[in-house]
Amino acid sequence: MPGLIIFASKYGSTAEYASLIARKLGTEALMASDASSGAVLEADFMVLGSPIYAYSVLPEMEEFLEKFKEVLAGKPLAAFVVCGDTMWNPEVGEGGNKNLEKLTRFLPKEPFAVAVLGGRMIMDELDEEDGPRIRAFYDRIGREATGFDRMEGVDPFVDRINEFLASSV
Query: CA-CA distance, 75 to 109, in Å (whole number)?
Result: 9
Per-residue pLDDT of the chain in tens (169 residues, 90 and over written 9): 589 999 999 999 999 999 999 999 999 999 999 999 999 999 999 999 999 877 789 999 999 999 999 999 999 999 999 987 655 555 555 566 778 888 999 999 999 999 989 888 899 999 999 899 889 988 988 888 888 888 888 999 999 999 999 998 6
* CATH 3.40.50.360 holds for 3-123+150-163: yes
Domain edges within the chain: 3-123+150-163
Residue 53 neighbours by CB distance under 10 Å: 18
